């Protein structure tokens, strides 16, 4: 069917949800908007769905949630009766429609006799990852759009290992989703009926308590906490999301008593009314937290995104001004502290990072004779590696992180975990304060030892059908580039992850990239500078990553400006 026929199919459905019917009436006559709502089905990517809330096949609503869940249900059924009995854990965040969507997913699964464990209130995403493994479930679902704007929501699927699903699992689920004839006719059961039959089981605080007990395992230096935690001045903001109670509880249990919460952002709010974007990667998100920090002369400010899998950190520079650390810088501080203070580092200890994450982590790990392994962008690939380590015992997980503010210290969770990260970076800050140094000075010391690594990210938002076409155009242009030069530094290698080929453009030598295929390009220059391009898997954006290594702050920043400007000039010609 074309978009007009799909629109008519929804409009004439006698059983259509009343709210959906009203939305169809509102957009009547607006062909541009109707086309965008119906020209395709909302795509189930490698981890699930994410999109704008609204009516239509290309929006997130009760029917697209049911369709995705029907695909997951069939996938579980195909695995057999044991998988159905092991069941699915469902969590949700504070966004518009999150509780409703979580219940709809439960109603679809329950119709097929699949056991469902549904949290009775909003919870952080890392707790969902933990709960899947703790309950020995066959899968997990979390209703969240992470740090996207308020008009978005999403649906992420986890495997029995507590990781976001693999590519093979995603393809199998997608195949089942595509087999759904009519998303408007999917049958569901009432909540009360599911509860009475025992098919639906509500989860209270018991799993959360066990998760928080596990937090003690990430402590590296209990003596530091005992002596200095109470001296550290902390400002924390959950940015209207799900982390508030658990972070406060964890900090208190770790001994941090001087903690101030940004009151205006403490309570869950689906509109994220005090910020333009609830994304700790955006410096503007810390405006209120910085005002709190200035009043109390705080040592460290921390802010998590709505579903609490990412955390941003703000510290004072040498002039006393608050600066937002990059994800790479926070990761370097965590890793350096972990390895320099941890007792009995295993010889097979391994650090995991993504291909767009700074190389400074590799340098730090190398100083302790540890291997660093790169994964594709997306924390699920880090979780996947941790599972492989457990099976082979060839490597032991030490630390995992990505540039986009995601970190994992204790592998009792298999996704990035902002609750862990908040507690751990607080310990790092307390340690350096005990030595008379700020986190900023600690970072400077890391640069002095390992080199001045600087990175940057440029995102271009390209919405809708036209935006998708534009993204393809940009990727295809860069895909055929064989020559690229910044000053005296020339392109020496190009990695095309879509075809799994790494090409030395000087010698012509080709190597196979041993990672799953992904629409990513990475370019390496002769001075160790690099840049990487990839369409986002969760937002209508194309992302450009840049990384350099300099002999000083000024040298690194200069290199970064040059490579960024060169790439920007190409982008301008294409857009």
Q: Which active-site residues does the annotation give? A: 146
For residues 508 and 492, what is the distance between their CA atoms, to the nearest angstrom?
Answer: 10
State the helix-helix crossing angle for 98-111 and 62-79, rounded to 10 degrees. 40
Q: How far is CA 438 from the centre of its chain?
A: 28
Are 334 and 401 spatial neighbours (Cβ–Cβ below 8 Å)? yes
Phi, psi for 189 (deg, rounded to 5): -115, 155
Report the DSSP beta bridge partners of residue 259.
Answer: 234
The number of residues making up the chain comes to: 575
Q: How far is CA 519 from CA 96, 173, 542, 543, in A?
A: 31, 20, 11, 12
Degrees to nearest 5, angle at CA 494 with 491 and 497? 160
C-alpha distance from residue 210 to each of 134, 136, 216, 242, 556 (Å): 9, 15, 11, 18, 45
Q: Which residue has the tokens 């390009």?
A: 521
Q: How far apart are CA 127 and CA 412, in angstroms?
A: 10
Q: How does DSSP classify residue 230?
A: G
Question: Is the CB of residue 89 less than 8 Å from the CB of residue 120?
Answer: no
d(CA 318, CA 437): 10
- Quote the strand ranges of 107-250, DSSP E: 116-119, 139-143, 152-159, 200-203, 234-237
Structural element, H or E, at residue 350: strand 349-354
* 511-519 LR contacts (CB < 8 Å, sep 24+): 515/355, 515/374, 515/375, 515/376, 515/381, 516/167, 516/376, 516/381, 518/376, 518/377, 519/475
Does residue 47 sit in helix, strand or coil?
A: coil
Measured CA to CA in angstroms, residue 520 lies from 226, 455, 465, 473 at distances of 46, 18, 20, 14
Q: Are 349 and 370 in contact (CB under 8 A)?
A: yes
Measured CA to CA, the distance from residue 453 to residue 360 in angstroms comes to: 6
Termini Cα distance of the chain: 31
**DSSP state, residue 358:** -
User: CA-based angle 333:309:139, to the nearest 5?
Assistant: 130
Type and span of the H or E element at 128 = helix 125-134
């Amino acid at each position: 069917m074309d978009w007009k026929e799909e629109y008519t199919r929804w409009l004439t459905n006698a059983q259509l949800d009343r709210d959906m019917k009203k939305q169809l009436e509102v957009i009547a006559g607006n062909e541009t908007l109707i086309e965008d709502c119906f020209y395709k089905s909302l795509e189930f990517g490698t981890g699930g769905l994410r999109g704008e809330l609204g009516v239509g096949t290309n929006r997130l609503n009760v029917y697209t949630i049911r369709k995705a869940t029907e695909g997951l249900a069939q996938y579980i059924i195909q695995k057999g009766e044991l998988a159905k009995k092991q069941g699915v854990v469902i969590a949700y965040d504070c966004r518009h429609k999150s509780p409703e969507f979580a219940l709809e997913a439960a109603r679809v699964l329950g119709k097929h006799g699949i056991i469902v464990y549904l949290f009775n209130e909003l919870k952080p995403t890392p707790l969902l990852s933990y709960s899947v493994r703790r309950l020995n479930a066959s899968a997990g679902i979390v209703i969240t759009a992470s740090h996207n704007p308020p008009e978005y929501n999403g649906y992420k699927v986890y495997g029995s290992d507590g990781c976001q699903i693999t590519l093979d699992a995603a393809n199998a689920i997608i195949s089942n989703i595509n087999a759904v004839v009519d998303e408007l006719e999917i049958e569901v059961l009432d909540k009360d009926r599911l509860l009475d039959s025992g098919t639906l089981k509500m989860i209270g605080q018991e799993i959360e308590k066990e998760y928080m007990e596990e937090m003690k395992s990430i402590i590296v230096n209990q003596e530091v906490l005992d002596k200095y935690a109470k001296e550290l001045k902390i400002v924390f903001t959950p940015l209207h999301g799900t982390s508030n109670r658990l972070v406060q509880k964890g900090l208190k249990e770790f001994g941090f008593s001087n903690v101030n919460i940004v009151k205006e952002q403490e309570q869950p709010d689906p509109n994220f009314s005090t910020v333009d974007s609830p994304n700790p990667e955006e410096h503007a998100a810390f405006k209120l937290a910085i005002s709190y920090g200035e009043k109390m002369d705080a040592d460290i400010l921390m802010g998590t995104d709505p579903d609490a899998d990412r955390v941003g950190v703000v510290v004072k520079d040498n002039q006393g001004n608050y600066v937002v650390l990059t994800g790479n810088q926070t990761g370097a501080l965590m890793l350096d502290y972990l390895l320099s203070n941890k007792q009995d580092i295993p010889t097979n200890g391994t650090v995991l990072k993504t291909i767009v994450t700074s190389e400074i982590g590799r340098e730090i790990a190398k100083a302790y004779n540890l291997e660093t392994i790169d994964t594709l962008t997306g924390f699920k690939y880090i979780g996947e590696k941790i599972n492989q380590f457990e099976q082979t015992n060839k490597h032991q997980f030490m630390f995992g992180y990505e540039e986009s503010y995601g970190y994992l210290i204790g592998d009792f969770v298999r996704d990035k975990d902002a609750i862990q990260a908040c507690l751990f970076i607080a310990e790092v800050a307390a340690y350096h304060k005990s030595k008379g140094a700020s986190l900023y000075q600690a970072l400077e010391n890391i640069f002095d030892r390992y080199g001045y690594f600087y990175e940057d990210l440029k995102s271009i938002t390209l919405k809708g059908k036209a935006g998708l076409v534009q993204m393809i155009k940009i990727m295809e242009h860069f895909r055929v580039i064989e020559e690229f030069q910044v000053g005296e530094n020339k392109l020496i290698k190009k990695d095309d992850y879509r075809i799994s080929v790494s090409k030395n453009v000087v010698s012509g030598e080709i190597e196979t990239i041993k990672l799953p295929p992904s629409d990513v390009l990475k370019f390496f220059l002769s001075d160790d500078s690099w840049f990487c391009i990839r369409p986002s898997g969760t937002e209508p954006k194309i992302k450009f990553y840049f990384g350099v290594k300099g002999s000083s702050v000024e040298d690194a920043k200069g290199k970064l400006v040059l490579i960024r400007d060169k790439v920007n000039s190409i982008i301008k010609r294409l857009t």
